[in-house]
A and B are shown apart, each in its own frame.
Chain A
Amino acid sequence: MDFTVLQRAALAVTFGVCAGAAAAQATKLEVPVLYLRQEVVLPPVLSNLDPVPEDLGIAGAEVALADVKTTGQFLGHDYALTLVSVPPGGDLAAAARAALPGAGVVLMEGAPADLLTVADLAEAQGKLLFNVASGAAALRSQDCRANLLHTMPEDAARTDALMQVLQSKQWRNLALIVGPKPEDAAYAEALRASARKFGLTLVGEKTWSFDTDLRRAATRELPPFTQDLPDHDVLLVADEADDFGRYVEHNTWLPRPIAGSEGLEGLGWTPVLEQWGAVQLQQRFEKVAHRNMQSRDYAAWAAMRAIGEAVTRTGSADPATLRAYMLSDAFQLDGFKGRALTFRHWNGQLRQPIAVANARALVTLAPVEGFLHQRNETDSLGMDEPESQCTAFGG
């Protein structure tokens, strides 16, 4: 990955004379944004049908960059995006220390420990960082940092959204298959907690331990594997690495719908979103990236657009000013999901609807009608204020 990907999004437009409330300023306001990525070695998966795009995340930031640059041209604001990508095993802290002085705001991809390493650097104090990749609960709770906001939804928001749909359909008895990886276990725990939260029953659970090649054996292996599960309405699959999950559907002992990491999924973004102007956003994305927009792309897009919105409304590129505006009641981001997106003031999580969808169509955009909340219905998804142990935001 190099910087040419940024140039393909550059806009070459000239505008007429600007005047009035949005008058072009004599001096341009520079808004340098850093995209800092810790590359990881992805685990081998059974199928190569859906490779992970190399520009996952960054492509979303590029599309948003083009958007905010256009707005900036009317206002005298100039945005720039720099990518620093650290190879697997590379020195992330050193790369961050070198790059941070050149940018006030940072979009970050990495494991929770990587994010905390960077957020705690002396060079990161007074900066504004965005987690665009990790859904880990701890980052929104005991491990939260005042300089770290989150545009990627937490895992619990995705599982809560799914459980709202299952509860509203009265599909209340669930069985669960958990993959062998730590992230599978974490996602399974989020599924269990969400099931409890919305009054659903987990009737049985099995751990996936097979090492057979499912491309040949799925029809033979999965029926007996699922045969001894108690009867259930929906079979949940926790397979966050996208390893075996694709082979579960239609290979089970009982004819049951699949949900979780496969089948019906709770997602930050999905290409099957059609309403709320989503199609326009995806068309802009496809022109740049030549592929569908995914959740991490959307998280990076939302972070860049949040920065643009705050700069536009405050006329400042100062990270403290931008942070204060984003956490205030005045901030609202049009996220193409039918409601204004805002930040939770207790842990810096972007408050957003979650798509509950299959591969072909949206089922519901959660919060599902009828799930109420005293502050905002969207806060029925994910960690609410009393549940978060975060104190860095003054809570």
Chain B
Amino acid sequence: MTRLALLLMTIALPVQAGEIWVTNEKDDTVSVIDADTLEVVKTYPTGERPRGITFSKDFSRVYICASDSDTVQVMDPATGAILHELPSGEDPEQFVLAPDDRHLYIANEDDAVTTVVDTESRTVVTQINVGIEPEGMAVSPDGKVAITTSETTNMAHWIDTGTHQLFANTLVDSRPRHAEFTADGAQLWVSAEIGGTITVFKAADQTELGKVRFEITGVNSDLIQPVGFKFTPDGKKAFVALGPANHVAVVDTATLAVEKYILVGRRVWHMAFSPDNAQLFTTNGVSGDVTVIDVAAEDAVKSIKVGRFPWGAAMRPTKG
């Protein structure tokens, strides 16, 4: 009976294989990790200083911000071949692919602009002036609002994607790094690295709903620096990378309280879920590795050596 149940479960829930792609900022490569074996299976060369990375909806293309090459590279994930390059504006750092699977919104760190690129016609649609050192990029699930955060101006800039005009600029704490809408589009979360907080906005009227604050025993508060974060698929929790504090915080999205801190590698930046969302992979810039977190247990289970200064992470399912 037990054996039958197990067999049925295996049939009902086929293991979804996949890969985690990691950009290595100071090696000019991407490392491809097999999400099952937890080994690096391939390393592909990229342009200079690769940071932001994201896949097209059908996972047939991977977009890579090659910051110091001033371009976004489009790679064939099956072969690692660079298919072509997109005009990106100067020093592209992070970007987000719109729900239309066609428009990339790119933060140009050195130019104080957000560049909108049409990935089909491979042209720049427009450039939008924002604050100094734009970095974090997000787009609402309905595609109507894009967000750029500016590190030195300390704002989230709200862009109407229909008109490409800013319609709101909201202050956050020092050095905003990353922005994400909740899956229902109701909230925008913005992390502030030096401020040490995440500000949560009500997307409908851009008012502040609250802040997530962090505290780790034995770690000086000014070293707790939230950068990248991800929501669990059920939306109940957020995993937040805390930079040089070397921990990932687990946040209850309803109460904004931190439930747990998970020790990971040094200077944790960004993260990606495995295809079944059972594991979370964090890039650790200074230690040059990726930590694998068991999402249910909220514990680190393995470190995987990648290239120098891993930065961005993105998931690609390979079958199932």
Contacts and interface: CB of A to CB of B under 8 A. Distances in A.
B216 interface: no
A377 B154 CA distance: 25
Interface in A16-39: 16-22
Q: How large is the interface on B (under 10, 10 to 19, 20 to 34, 35 or more residues)?
A: 35 or more
Contacts of A16: 128-129, 165-167
A340 B196 CA distance: 9
Given A21-B171, A280-B109, A340 B153 contact: no
A333 interface: yes
A340 B166 contact: no
Interface in A196-228: none
Nearest to B223: A339
A252 B193 CA distance: 45
A377 B132 contact: no
Interface stretch (A66-74, A155-163, A175-183): A66-74
Contacts of A15: 129, 166
A332 interface: yes
A20 B174 contact: no
Interface in A39-74: 66-67, 70-71, 74
A17 B167 CA distance: 6
Contact of B155 (A71, A284, A332): A71
Contacts of A71: 131-132, 152-155
Interface string B159-175: 00000011111110111
Contacts of B222: 339-340, 376, 378
B56 interface: no
Interface string B111-130: 01000000000000000110
Contacts of B69: none
Contacts of B131: 70-71, 74
Given A67-B132, A71-B132, A22 B171 contact: yes
Contacts of B174: 309, 332-334, 340
A334 B152 contact: yes
Interface in B150-208: 151-155, 158, 165-171, 173-175, 193-196, 205-208
A14 B129 CA distance: 7
Contacts of A312: 154, 171
A117 interface: no
A277 B170 CA distance: 22
Given A71-B153, A280-B110, A340-B195, A13 B165 contact: no
Contacts of A21: 168-171, 206-208
Interface string A245-284: 0000000000000000000000000000000010010011
A338 interface: yes
Given A71-B154, A339-B222, A340-B195, A13 B112 contact: yes
B194 A334 contact: yes
Contacts of B128: 16
Contact of B132 (A19, A70, A338): A70
A339 to B, nearest CB: 4
Contacts of B207: 21
A22 B169 contact: yes
Nearest to A373: B220
B129 A340 contact: no
B194 A280 contact: no
Interface in A283-322: 283-284, 309, 312-313
A340 B221 CA distance: 10
Given A15-B129, A70-B153, A312-B154, A340 B167 contact: no
B182 to A, nearest CB: 19
A303 B50 CA distance: 34
17 contacts: A15-B166, A17-B166, A18-B166, A18-B169, A20-B158, A22-B155, A22-B168, A22-B169, A70-B112, A70-B132, A70-B153, A71-B131, A284-B132, A309-B154, A332-B174, A338-B223, A340-B222
Considering the complex of A and B, which 5 residue pairs feature the smallest CB-CB distances, nearest first? A20-B168, A16-B166, A16-B165, A20-B206, A334-B194
Given A71-B132, A74-B169, 9 more contacts: A20-B168, A21-B170, A22-B169, A70-B131, A74-B131, A280-B109, A283-B110, A332-B174, A333-B174
